[in-house]
Amino acid sequence: MAWIILVVSGVLEAVWATALGRAEGFTKPVATIVFAVALVASMGGLAFAMRTLPTGTAYAVWVGIGAALTVTYAMVTGAESASVAKVLLLVGIVGCVVGLKVLH
């Protein structure tokens, strides 16, 4: 159960990171609310997962999922340029996250 919550929390990290960028210094109310709700839920899920998973592993998986999804979303929406090198590096991040789960 901790792993499922950790993965969902990693996805929520991507949500709050993207919303933070769209909040434009907290001047956009909807984006600011999405940011705040996703942030609290993401941190709460991370804290819950860390009750049973090692801190280093949980944090690395959480950050890896959030970072990979945030960059992928930005590339898909055109907010950030895509390249073969970026895609390969994202695949590397995902591979490392999977590796941490497998080794656990």
What's the token pair of residue 8? 């969902």
- pLDDT band of residue 16 (cuts 50, 70, 90) is very high
Burial 80-101, CB ≥16 within 10 A → b, else e: eeeeeeeeeebeebeeebeebe
Q: Which letter does DSSP use for residue 11 in this model? A: H
Predicted local distance difference test score (pLDDT) of residue 101: 87
Question: What residues contact residue 87 under an 8 Å CB cut-off, 6+ apart?
Answer: none
Q: Which domain holds residue 77?
A: 2-103
Residue 104, pLDDT > 90, answer no
Per-residue pLDDT of 21-47, as tens digits, reads 999 999 999 999 999 999 999 999 999
CA gap 33, 65 in Å, rounded: 22
Mean pLDDT of 57-76: 96
Q: How many domains does the chain have?
A: 1
Give the C-alpha separation, 13 to 87, whole Å: 20
**CB atoms < 10 A from the CB of 24, how many?**
10
Global confidence as pTM: 0.91
CA atoms of 73 and 79, how far apart (whole Å): 8
